[in-house]
A and B are shown apart, each in its own frame.
Chain A
């Protein structure tokens, strides 16, 4: 099956920078993720939300890329949260213990509502 490269689009909603992810998060996703994160950070939001609705493949290199984003966000004193993870990816976030450090929300509405709570 041909690889589906990651597409990442940045939107602004309720003061939160939302990165909509579509495709596969693996070693080839590094550039797209880094560029999207940089764009998201440009307006200095307090929270960056990763929306995984369009993601259908993550390998361990992909999880390491997300850890890298989390480290960047924490260094810049920003919150990095996630939404729309399938049950499978929620389990991956639990196994890798990413969920200890990242808020994980079932959908974008709940993530945005939580992010706007002081």
Chain B
């Protein structure tokens, strides 16, 4: 009988299940009615280091004062009803599997000047008390948005934190000419809607920090993937596509 040497147990790190798996490019599992998947499938996910513009850390938080709700309950509610907390005019097509690591959601939004935008996000990380979305190439910014909840001074806090750079020079100009303000208002309204869901009516605190004021000029070519331009071209050329589809029939 041979004696077996006990093998050290190969334990997965505790955070392993919370992270998306590595994939070279994004894949959309299903396209909901009304969504457009022209700027997500096949694109790479990009973080705050890959963009062009200044790097910003924007933190929006609301205190759920007087409400008996745990951070885990806040995050579960946020994940389950993510699209309902967004302001009108923006549509979030949640992935079929929900907000779980590696899933990709499509987004229909608008840019300053009323340009319609089709884009998306990948769920980079999700645990019981936080989740993070990562943007694809061509999105107005490259970066992460982390939604979290925690207790502070006897109250539960809900927070959205964006770490971002404008993806290309056009978006950088757009952000400076009203895009930042639009984005701030969007997250402030989202947090107000979330707080209202729990019956809380407290103001949203906003903290904006420029982490790196330098522009990354070597990334100016990101404009090639600009989802705003591609969405506009897609819309303008729609009649041609209809016509050629009719001819084929």
Contacts and interface: CB of A to CB of B under 8 A. Distances in A.
Interface of A: 1, 27, 56-61, 63-64, 67-68, 70-71, 74-75, 86, 88-89, 91-92, 94-98, 100-101
A7 B20 CA distance: 27
Interface string B37-61: 0000000011111100001010000
Given A75-B214, A97-B47, A60 B132 contact: yes
Nearest first, the 8 A-B pairs at minimum CB distance are A60-B132, A60-B125, A71-B212, A97-B47, A95-B22, A71-B211, A101-B49, A88-B13
B15 A64 contact: no
Nearest to A89: B13
B82 interface: no
Contact of A60 (B13, B22, B57, B144): B144
Contacts of A61: 130, 146, 148, 161
Nearest to A65: B163
B242 to A, nearest CB: 38
Among A75, A88, A97, find the residue whose CB has the most chain B CB atoms closer than 10 A.
A97
A106 B125 CA distance: 25
B184 interface: no
18 contacts: A59-B15, A59-B125, A59-B127, A64-B57, A64-B144, A67-B48, A67-B211, A68-B211, A71-B211, A71-B212, A74-B212, A75-B214, A95-B21, A95-B45, A96-B47, A96-B144, A97-B45, A98-B49
Contact of B19 (A71, A95, A98): A95
A9 B13 CA distance: 23
Contact of A1 (B12, B14, B148, B212): B14
B142 to A, nearest CB: 9
B18 interface: yes
A58 B146 contact: no
Contacts of A1: 14
Contacts of A98: 47, 49
B14 A60 contact: no
A97 B46 contact: yes
Given A59-B15, A59-B130, A61-B148, 9 more contacts: A27-B148, A67-B49, A67-B163, A88-B12, A88-B16, A95-B19, A96-B124, A97-B50, A98-B49
B130 to A, nearest CB: 7
Nearest to B132: A60
A26 to B, nearest CB: 9
Contacts of A58: 15
B198 interface: no
Nearest to A70: B49
B150 interface: yes
Interface in B95-149: 124-125, 127, 130-132, 134, 144, 146, 148
Nearest to B131: A60
Contacts of B14: 1, 56-57
